[in-house]
Amino acid sequence: MKATFEQNDALIIVDVQNDFCPGGKLALDEGDEVVPVINALSAQAQEAGIPVFVSRDWHPRHHVSFDERGGPWPEHCVQDTKGAEFHPDLILPENARLVSKGARFDIDQYSAFDKTGLVSELVHLNIKRVWVVGLALEVCVKATALDATKNDYETFLVEEGTRFIDRADAEKAREELREAGVIFK
């Protein structure tokens, strides 16, 4: 996929972490298949001088989203564990900006925009458009793309750079994203 990056664009890579890839605690069957696509987009962004933001789930042990605490998910992406690390084949620019979410044990965050300071950074850089890729389409990718549109960013979602957990939920997410004005590439 060749992106048509413009001067005021940013690439947002969402949660390409070991626990969301095959063998992880909350694995998507084909989660690792996004890595080559994202690596290519990241290289294109770097060549074009476009900032790259990379979000991660960064949960403390006993996080509110974990099923042990009544949440919907098994334990995953616990701080300083192998599962929380980015996929080993993911190539990020040295100047990629890290966005951590879910770091407080009592608050769940799906969007890279949710209380992370991302909006301030994008405003500071005069970003007008964002390209979103990563895992999982119907959860954190959707939340990030929707928040981007709510913050008045023209938002592109690169479909081959994302995967889903559940096909039916992914279809609903695509519909909701299109209705919100997200442009699929």
Token look-up 């096909």 returns: 167
The catalytic residue among 9, 21, 32, 101 is 101
Token look-up 């994008």 returns: 122
The catalytic residue among 19, 57, 140, 142 is 140
101 is catalytic: yes
b (16+ CB within 10 A) / e for 88-127: eebebbeebbebbbbbeeeebbbbbbbebebbeebeeeeb
* E strand spans, 8-116: 9-14, 52-57, 97-101
140 is catalytic: yes
The catalytic residue among 15, 19, 32, 147 is 15
Active site residues: 15, 101, 140
